[in-house]
Structure 1
Amino acid sequence: MKLLLFEDKLRENFFPLTLTRFTGDLRCGALKLRQRLEALLTDDEVSFLIDSSIEDLYSERHPDWQINLIKPGDKLFVNCLLKYSPTLFDKIQTLDHEQALVQGNALVAYRSNKDHGSFDPDSVLKQFGISTENVDDALYKHPADLVHDNGRMITYDFDNFFSDKDNSFETEPGATILNPYNVWLGEGVELKPGVVIDASDGPVIIDNDALLMHNSVVIGPAYIGKNSIIKVAAKIYENCSIGPVCKVGGELEACIIQAYTNKQHDGFLGHSYLGEWVNLGADTNNSDLKNTYKNVVMHSYNDRPPFDTNTMFMGCIIGDHTKLGINSTINTGCVVGTGSNLWGRDLISGYIPEFSWGEASLLQPYRIDAFLSTAQLVKQRRQLKLSNKERSLYTSIYHRYQENQ
């Protein structure tokens, strides 16, 4: 049975993060959403049904992927925003042909052996002869859902994908590991003297070639990605996932950082989701709790009403290639769009549009040529190239948002 991972209109709830990536590439736990679904649902072919706006970029980035290709035969279509639960996965794996699971108006999963030249999740539910079953709490609906489910999924991933409980490792003198059977260290991991890894209340996964510098503390559940560096005296509290090639210092709690992002210096970041190639200047701080203790409401894209996150704790969402200057202060529930460059004493609050430049109260458009030049330099520092497809995507996003301000 072929697995087809699709994204639907819910991807817009995850802007700005999904302006530049497939929804299945969002991180929650130690893995990306698609990686977990691939591992659990099939050992056969996988096809990715992605939005046309990022199709060219993904075809370039993943030439070995089957993208927007639907082959004949037995097929299982699964929404890549699927939230793991044993009961839900049992339902999916026992679907018969022309049976579907739905959450409200959203398609969760659908099995079919019909020929599909194309696939529209919305139209599937209108087809004659399809049997549907409603399921609750099956899909992530907003980045806040990922942030608040992150600890649970780190624990799940540890138990199912990093399950060598006899994993043996040596540490430098002076490093302390509490509950070592709840810790997984990859190859080439380096722990400097004074490091504390506390897995008493949840697992800690330190992936290959990561470096934890002197006197840094990591409290589980936590995931530190490949080739990432945790700086001197950093405090990584529970429920954090830090993707590959990041540099992180200061204080973090319940955060997801996608990859290639730097928050090197002192300052607090809590209950937040950062994309790739983000840089937070020294002493940047964010708020993740309102003084009124009310639920955090966040900006929605495409002229929809603000989104109630249904939680008191939610910090900020920051899109790819955004830079914040030293001493930046970010308000509760702030959304900072892709490709922005901000500095100054103003409180960064509400919604900062894509490709914004300057102080929060005096925003100007960030010239697209200047942005692309900086993005190229940033990637060159990691021996990577800003491809023509990336340039085209960012230019398209610029015209879509900045010219309509």
Structure 2
Amino acid sequence: MNYILYDGEYRNQLLPFTYTRPVADIRVGILTIREKWEEFLGLTTTTLTEEYLEEKYPMVEMENNIMINASFLPTNKIVEQVKALKENEAIVKEDEILAFYTKDNQEEVDFDEYNLIDCVDNFIQIKNTWDIFSLNGLAIQADFDLITQDRTSEPIPENVQYINKENIFIEKGATVNFATLNASNGPIYIGKNSEIMEGATIRAPFALCEGSTIKMGAKIYGDTTIGPQCKVGGEVSNSVFFGYANKGHDGFLGNSV
């Protein structure tokens, strides 16, 4: 089956971020929305987005396709429903379309002719810009459970102070020295080839993605994600860095994307 993530009705409410990316490529939690769906599906996806973004994010259409509203974050039960969709079927939640089956020769989609199936699970949905940080803690927990399942963390160095070891996962190649990790209120994920420098204090839920650095003496509060290839210092609370960003100064950043 071919899976296509489409922007849906909330794209404009997610501006300015969706000026330069589809909704599917927003990072919330540890992974982007696309990465979450691909992890669950075990397949790559393509995107239906604005025309000016199509060259960078082309859509691949096949004979049989399932269109997925990218504002919805996947769960096991939702993915099972999506995989089970048949011709002229759609999954709905409170009159919103979550996913539907379509064929390449189908010129129009008339949902009045579809069999509408109620979504069986609770979910996280990103409708507004503030949802990205206000729901980030829940998304970190969901992603942590997904990507660390049946895996073993690298050992926590002896010079690191920590609380709740079972909620801390360190990927191969990550460096943590003389830091404090408090995972009492959720998971702490430390990505591949990332670094937490000396004196940093981190409270969960927290995600540090691949190749990023937390600078010396940083104070990071919960519900915070540092995307890939970032450098972050100072005091940060309930914020999401998509990636390739730099906050090297000691100032405060909170409730931000």
Q: Which residue of 1 aligns with 2:240?
A: 256
Q: Could you tell me which amino acid in structure 1 is paired with residue 17 of structure 2?
A: L
Q: Please identify the structure whose Cα radius of gyration is greater.
A: 1
Q: Is the 8 A contact 1:108 1:138 kept in 2?
A: no
Q: SS of the residue aligned with 1:30?
A: coil
Cα distance, 1:220–1:150 mapped onto 2, change above 3 Å? same
Q: Could you tell me which amino acid in structure 2 is paired with residue 95 of structure 1?
A: L
Q: Which residue of 1 aligns with 2:85?
A: 95
TM-score, reference length from structure 1: 0.58
Aligned equivalent of 1:192, options 167, 177, 194: 177
Q: How does 1:187-336 map onto structure 2 within 5 Å?
A: 187-193=172-178, 195-273=179-257
Shift of residue 192, structure 1, vs aligned partner: 2.4
Any idea what the Cα deviations from partners look like across 1:278-307, whole Å, max 9, x if unmatched?
Answer: xxxxxxxxxxxxxxxxxxxxxxxxxxxxxx
The CA distance in 2 between the partners of 1:99 and 1:76, in whole Å, is 10
Q: SS of the residue aligned with 1:184?
A: strand
The CA distance in 2 between the partners of 1:166 and 1:225, in whole Å, is 17
Shift of residue 23, structure 1, vs aligned partner: 1.1
TM-score, reference length from structure 2: 0.89
Q: Does 1:71 align with 2:70?
A: no
255-264 or 77-86: which moved more? 77-86
Q: Could you tell me which amino acid in structure 1 is paired with residue 74 of structure 2?
A: Y
* C-alpha RMSD over aligned residues: 2.3
Shift of residue 26, structure 1, vs aligned partner: 0.3
Cα distance, 1:255–1:116 mapped onto 2, change above 3 Å? farther
The CA distance in 2 between the partners of 1:158 and 1:134, in whole Å, is 27
Q: Which residue of 1 aligns with 2:126?
A: 140
The CA distance in 2 between the partners of 1:163 and 1:85, in whole Å, is 14
Identity, in percent, stands at 27
Q: Could you tell me which amino acid in structure 2 is paired with residue 115 of structure 1?
A: D
Q: Is the 8 A contact 2:4 2:46 kept in 1?
A: yes
Alignment coverage as a number of residue pairs: 255
Q: Is the 8 A contact 1:108 1:139 kept in 2?
A: no
Shift of residue 103, structure 1, vs aligned partner: 4.7
Any idea what the Cα deviations from partners look like across 1:2-49, whole Å, max 9, x if unmatched?
Answer: 211111232111110010111111001110001111121x34563322
Q: Which runs of 5+ in 2 are unaligned?
A: none
Q: Could you tell me which amino acid in structure 2 is paired with residue 148 of structure 1?
A: S
Q: SS of the residue aligned with 2:135?
A: helix
The CA distance in 1 between the partners of 2:105 and 2:220, in whole Å, is 47
Q: Is the 8 A contact 1:6 1:50 kept in 2?
A: yes
Shift of residue 209, structure 1, vs aligned partner: 1.3
The CA distance in 2 between the partners of 1:46 and 1:196, in whole Å, is 38
Q: Which runs of 5+ in 1 are unaligned?
A: 59-66, 274-405
Aligned equivalent of 1:115, options 104, 108, 127: 104
Q: Which residue of 2 aligns with 1:13?
A: 13
Shift of residue 86, structure 1, vs aligned partner: 4.7
Runs (4+) off by over 4 Å: 103-106, 133-138
The CA distance in 2 between the partners of 1:177 and 1:165, in whole Å, is 20
Shift of residue 165, structure 1, vs aligned partner: 5.5
Q: Is the 8 A contact 1:185 1:205 kept in 2?
A: yes
Aligned equivalent of 2:74, options 84, 106, 109: 84
Q: Could you tell me which amino acid in structure 1 is paired with residue 70 of structure 2?
A: C
Q: Higher relative contact order at CA 8 Å, sep ≥6: structure 1 or structure 2?
A: 2
The CA distance in 1 between the partners of 2:43 and 2:105, in whole Å, is 18
The CA distance in 2 between the partners of 1:252 and 1:116, in whole Å, is 50
Q: Could you tell me which amino acid in structure 2 is paired with residue 48 of structure 1?
A: T
Q: Does 1:174 align with 2:164?
A: no
Any idea what the Cα deviations from partners look like across 1:320-353, whole Å, max 9, x if unmatched?
Answer: xxxxxxxxxxxxxxxxxxxxxxxxxxxxxxxxxx
Q: How does 1:42-57 map onto structure 2 within 5 Å?
A: 42-44=41-43, 46-57=45-56
Cα distance, 1:44–1:253 mapped onto 2, change above 3 Å? closer
The CA distance in 2 between the partners of 1:96 and 1:138, in whole Å, is 24
The CA distance in 2 between the partners of 1:134 and 1:20, in whole Å, is 33
Cα distance, 1:116–1:82 mapped onto 2, change above 3 Å? farther
Cα distance, 1:115–1:254 mapped onto 2, change above 3 Å? same
Cα distance, 1:27–1:201 mapped onto 2, change above 3 Å? same
Q: Which residue of 1 aligns with 2:168?
A: 183
